[in-house]
């Protein structure tokens, strides 16, 4: 009998970064599979130059993907120039294929091999891993997350056409995938570990007046995060604490630090371990999604929506995507700054019954998402 699948998981985030879709799905793959989690070699994260075990059946290794998403603007500009140069791109792709060739022996004799791609920049070295099946899991709109050299756009389009399966996290992404050449992309959204958020005790060590209710946000803070809106919220509700948790892009960090210095009830805590997030969210009275509407956010399926709901925390969001119409009562949508503040104030004055929120979250538990995702990746693969 052949062993289970060996999976080359070509991720767009490091294993030790925010605990999101890549890690949630990888840890729920069938127990007879073995996974090599190929992460981008990122400044600020200790690299794994050779496969390093992180769980019983998952090893991580760092890989020299072109750092178009780097936090350093100088590094991003350099990556853009390299990606736009035919000679530099050929040299980089050759180096990647050589590096990948040293990793392709990670698997077991006789095992089938799946390449699960979440980073389209893996496409030039993909075949070096000798996969029998390729699945492209398109999490975001890759051409809108950061500037992509026009010379590299065909790599994304070829991956969409060549992959055996393409999954996406939202209906707008499905439309984008079709426009890029994917014939039949499957929407499989994000989720939440409901039990983890249900059993966690609310954190009691968050900054500010311990008696003040917390209006909270968990996730990355980037150009799409509306700092002026959050500043207005904090100043309009001085009796509440506004607590932001997550890594910030340098430009957003500078803006946050400037606003926080003049807004005593606004606190940015930076990145926190995933193990602490459920307790932090359980301490929120209202969860916030203050996103600007951009080509990137229009296609986003935010994990934080499900995390807030699983903790029984009502959510107020901007209309950053048309998908908000599918969230039912899990979020209240505000179309202006004044409406955003009013919605938050309403939840503070009259907290809703958390039961429907938790029921919504259970429909999107990661266990259920993973079952659908694994079946999609491996169906018809006897």
Specify whether the CB–CB gap between 58 and 65 falls below 8 A.
no
The answer on 264 and 180 residing in a single domain is: no
Report how far residue 167's alpha carbon sits from residue 139's, in angstroms, rounded to the nearest whole number. Answer: 8
**Residue 82 sits in which domain range?**
6-191+365-378
The answer on 304 and 370 residing in a single domain is: no
Report how far residue 213's alpha carbon sits from residue 200's, in angstroms, rounded to the nearest whole number. Answer: 18
The answer on 147 and 18 residing in a single domain is: yes
**In terms of DSSP bridges, do strands 286-289 and 315-318 run parallel, antiparallel, or are they unpaired?**
parallel
For residue 5, give every residue at least 6 positions away whose Cβ sits within 8 Å of its Cβ, in sequence order, or none: 29, 30, 32, 33, 34, 111, 112, 113, 114, 378
The answer on 318 and 213 residing in a single domain is: yes
The answer on 91 and 202 residing in a single domain is: no
**Helix residue spans in 35-180 (DSSP H):** 73-84, 86-101, 142-145, 153-162, 171-180
Q: Do the domain assignments include residue 317?
A: yes
The answer on 344 and 267 residing in a single domain is: yes
Residue 318's domain is classified under what CATH number? 3.40.50.2000
The answer on 178 and 35 residing in a single domain is: yes
The answer on 138 and 85 residing in a single domain is: yes
Per-residue pLDDT 10s for the chain (382 aa) are 456 899 999 999 999 888 899 999 999 999 999 999 999 987 667 889 899 999 999 999 999 998 888 777 888 888 899 999 999 999 999 999 999 999 988 889 889 999 999 999 999 999 999 999 999 999 999 988 788 999 999 999 999 999 999 999 999 999 999 999 999 999 999 999 999 999 999 999 999 999 999 999 999 999 999 999 999 999 999 999 999 999 998 889 999 999 999 999 999 999 999 999 999 999 999 999 999 999 999 999 999 999 999 999 999 999 999 999 899 889 999 999 999 999 999 999 999 999 999 999 999 999 999 999 999 999 865 4
Kindly give the interhelix angle for 303-310 and 355-362, rounded to the nearest 10 degrees: 130
Q: Do the domain assignments include residue 153?
A: yes
Token digits of residue 165? 């399966």
The answer on 173 and 60 residing in a single domain is: yes
Q: What is the tally of structural domains in the chain?
A: 2
The answer on 296 and 267 residing in a single domain is: yes
Q: Do the domain assignments include residue 1?
A: no
DSSP summary character for residue 293? P
The answer on 153 and 277 residing in a single domain is: no
The answer on 320 and 174 residing in a single domain is: no
Q: Do the domain assignments include residue 180?
A: yes
């Amino acid at each position: 009998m052949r062993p289970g699948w060996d999976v080359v998981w070509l991720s767009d985030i490091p294993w030790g970064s925010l605990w999101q879709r890549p890690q949630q799905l990888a840890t729920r793959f069938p127990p007879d599979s073995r996974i090599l989690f190929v992460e981008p070699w990122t400044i600020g994260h200790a690299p794994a130059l050779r496969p390093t075990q992180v769980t019983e059946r998952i090893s991580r290794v760092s890989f020299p993907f072109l750092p178009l998403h780097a936090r350093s603007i100088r590094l991003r500009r350099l990556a853009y120039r390299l990606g736009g140069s035919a000679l530099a791109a050929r040299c980089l792709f050759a180096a990647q294929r050589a590096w990948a060739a040293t990793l392709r022996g990670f698997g077991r004799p006789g095992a089938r091999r799946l390449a699960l791609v979440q980073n389209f920049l893996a496409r030039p070295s993909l075949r070096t891993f000798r996969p029998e099946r390729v699945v492209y899991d398109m999490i975001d709109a890759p051409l809108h997350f950061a500037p992509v050299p026009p010379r590299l756009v065909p790599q994304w389009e070829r991956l969409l056409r060549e992959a055996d399966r393409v999954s996406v996290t939202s209906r707008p992404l499905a439309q984008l995938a079709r426009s890029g050449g994917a014939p039949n992309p499957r929407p499989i959204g994000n989720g939440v570990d409901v039990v983890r958020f249900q059993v966690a005790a609310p954190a009691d060590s968050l900054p500010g007046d311990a008696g003040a209710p917390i209006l909270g946000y968990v996730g990355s803070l980037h150009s799409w995060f509306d700092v002026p809106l959050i500043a207005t919220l904090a100043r309009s509700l001085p009796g509440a604490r506004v607590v932001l948790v997550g890594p910030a892009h340098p430009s957003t960090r500078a803006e946050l630090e400037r606003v926080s210095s003049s807004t005593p009830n606004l606190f940015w805590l930076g990145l926190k371990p995933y193990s602490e997030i459920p307790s932090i969210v359980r301490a929120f009275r209202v969860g916030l999604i203050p996103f600007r509407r951009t080509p990137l956010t229009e296609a986003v399926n935010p994990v934080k929506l499900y995390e807030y709901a699983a903790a029984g925390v009502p959510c107020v969001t901007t209309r950053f995507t048309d998908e908000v119409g599918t969230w039912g009562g899990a979020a209240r949508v505000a179309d202006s700054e004044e409406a955003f503040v009013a919605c938050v104030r309403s939840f503070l004055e009259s907290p809703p019954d958390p039961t429907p929120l938790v029921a919504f979250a259970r429909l999107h538990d990661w266990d259920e998402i993973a079952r659908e995702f694994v079946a999609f990746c491996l169906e018809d693969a006897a």
